[in-house]
């Protein structure tokens, strides 16, 4: 079979779940030779893995002989086991057979334990920030913060932990009203806002995103950022957004697949304040919180603010995303204009997670 230096291949066993498939995909992308094996499989797995080797179950008396023959024939030097019982068995088997095979990675059970501990450490770090942003108003518990982080982390997006923590805090003091998000992508911040609007009994959520390349291109940003838009399949983005919203309620959220200006025209009409693909959602026309995260070109950020901020309630919150941004200064310039021109109407303002947070003491003009 050769020693650990000459053995090249990684055996993935059992190659029967998403963790196995993810490892094989990543390993082959980096040029690592992988061999896939399983004892029990189904038609779907067999159809995906046409190179699948069959091994007896680990407790079968033929397992040792068959495994050693496969390992020798394929020059196996590493073993990845994404099933806890197999990982534990193979750790003892490798030791008892004195094999020159490295069992890589932790047991899936230990992985879960460590992942949870890291999650709780993130939540403990962020809880004081959540409480600070909430001010004197009661806010979320440690477990709630951890739960929001866990779910949000599974959704593609660019809102970091600090920004999400600030959102968790400020929504505690938002008045009753509508919660608006301009620029939804695949729903990370929409998920958080929808949960918080329900948790704090604020009001229904309206998300706005046309999911179209011509609206997404930020023409005042570097060319490299503009061409990044070409990597997206916008129908996948739309579908992914609604998949990510499935765990939450549907009766207090709807989406307008329109540019911001057209969406505002719909929102501003009294007769059109109840709309949803699946159910009726009644909006008041008065905004408790708005997250502006659409196109970051200066003129478009300014237009978003001119259109929507006139609907803000006293005590409401503006979240202006990417106030600090490496690719342009549109949100920064618009934010500074607001701070300068509307200063007497502002109760609180701070920057967190690259976003500008502004609470209005009086309605902005």
**Rounded Cα distance, 179 and 283, in Å:** 9
Instruction: Answer yes or no: is pLDDT of 45 > 60.
Output: no
DSSP alpha helices (H): ranges in the chain?
18-29, 43-48, 63-73, 84-97, 108-134, 142-153, 161-170, 188-199, 213-216, 223-228, 234-245, 260-267, 298-308, 330-341
Q: How confident is the model at residue 243 (pLDDT cuts 50, 70, 90)?
A: very high
> CATH code for 9-105?
3.40.50.20
Q: How confident is the model at residue 5 (pLDDT cuts 50, 70, 90)?
A: very low
* Strand-by-strand arrangement of the 76-80 sheet: 52-54, 34-38, 9-12, 76-80, 102-104
Least confident of 24-28, 134-138, 214-218, 329-333: 214-218
pLDDT 10s digits, 263-295: 999 999 854 455 555 567 889 999 999 999 999
Instruction: Answer yes or no: is pLDDT of 218 > 90.
Output: no
Q: Coil, strand, or helix at residue 25?
A: helix
Please check whether residue 187 is in contact with residue 297, taking contact to mean a CB–CB distance below 8 angstroms.
Answer: no
- Residue 99 is encoded by which pair of tokens? 């094999």
Please check whether residue 130 is in contact with residue 169, taking contact to mean a CB–CB distance below 8 angstroms.
Answer: yes
Least confident of 78-82, 120-124, 223-227, 241-245: 223-227
CATH number assigned to the domain with residue range 113-360, chosen from the 4 options 3.40.50.720, 3.30.70.1450, 3.40.50.150, 3.40.47.10: 3.40.50.150
327 closest CA partner among 201, 252, 223: 223
pLDDT 10s digits, 51-93: 799 999 999 999 999 999 999 999 999 999 999 999 999 999 9
CA angle 162, 167, 168 (to 5 degrees): 95
Would you state the pLDDT for residue 320?
98
Would you state the pLDDT for residue 3?
45
Asked if 9-105 and 113-360 have one fold, the answer is yes
311 closest CA partner among 212, 210, 203, 191: 203
What is the pLDDT averaged over residues 171-199?
97
**Rounded Cα distance, 217 and 295, in Å:** 7
Compute the mean pLDDT over every residue in the chain, rounded to the nearest whole number: 90
Instruction: Answer yes or no: is pLDDT of 365 > 80.
Output: no
What is the pLDDT averaged over residues 6-33?
90
pTM above 0.85, yes or no: yes
pLDDT 10s digits, 128-157: 999 999 999 999 999 999 999 999 999 999
Instruction: Answer yes or no: is pLDDT of 23 > 80.
Output: yes
Q: Are strands 312-320 and 355-360 parallel, antiparallel or unpaired?
A: antiparallel
What is the pLDDT averaged over residues 239-255?
90
> CA torsion sign, 330 to 210 to 200 to 149?
negative
186 closest CA partner among 163, 145, 154: 154
Would you state the pLDDT for residue 271?
43
314 closest CA partner among 342, 287, 291, 339: 287
pLDDT 10s digits, 293-323: 999 999 999 999 999 999 999 999 999 999 9
Domain coordinates in residue numbering, the chain: 9-105, 113-360
């Amino acid at each position: 079979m050769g020693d650990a230096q000459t053995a090249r291949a990684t055996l993935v066993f059992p190659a029967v779940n998403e963790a196995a498939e993810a490892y094989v995909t990543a390993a082959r992308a980096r040029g690592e030779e992988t061999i896939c094996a399983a004892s029990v499989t189904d038609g779907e797995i067999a159809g995906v893995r046409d190179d699948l080797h069959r091994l007896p179950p680990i407790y079968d008396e033929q397992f040792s002989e068959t495994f050693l023959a496969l390992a020798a024939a394929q020059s196996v030097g590493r073993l990845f086991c994404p099933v806890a019982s197999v990982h534990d068995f193979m750790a003892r088997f490798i030791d008892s057979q004195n094999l020159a095979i490295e069992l890589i990675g932790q047991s899936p059970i230990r992985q879960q334990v460590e992942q949870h501990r890291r999650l709780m450490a993130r939540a403990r770090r962020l809880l004081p920030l959540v409480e600070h942003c909430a001010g004197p108003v009661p806010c979320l518990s440690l477990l709630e913060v951890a739960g929001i982080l866990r779910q949000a982390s599974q959704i593609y997006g660019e809102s970091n932990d600090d920004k999400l923590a600030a959102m968790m805090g400020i929504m505690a003091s938002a008045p009753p009203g509508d919660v608006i998000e301009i620029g939804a992508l695949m729903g990370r911040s929409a998920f958080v806002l929808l949960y918080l609007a329900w948790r704090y009994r604020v009001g229904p959520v309206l998300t706005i995103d046309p999911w179209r390349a011509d609206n997404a291109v930020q023409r005042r940003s570097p060319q490299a950022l503009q061409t990044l838009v070409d990597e997206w399949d916008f129908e996948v983005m739309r579908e992914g957004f609604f998949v990510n919203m499935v765990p939450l309620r549907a009766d207090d959220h709807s989406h307008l697949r329109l540019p911001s200006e057209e969406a505002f025209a719909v929102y501003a009409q009294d007769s059109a304040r109840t709309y949803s693909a699946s159910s009726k959602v009644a909006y008041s026309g008065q905004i408790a919180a708005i997250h502006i995260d659409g196109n970051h070109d200066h003129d478009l950020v300014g237009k978003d603010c001119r259109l929507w901020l006139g609907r803000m309630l006293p005590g409401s919150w503006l979240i202006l995303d990417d106030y600090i941004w490496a690719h342009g200064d549109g949100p920064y310039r618009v934010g500074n204009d607001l701070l300068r021109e509307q200063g007497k109407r502002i109760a609180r303002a701070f920057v967190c997670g690259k976003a500008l947070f502004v609470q209005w003491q009086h309605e902005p003009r």
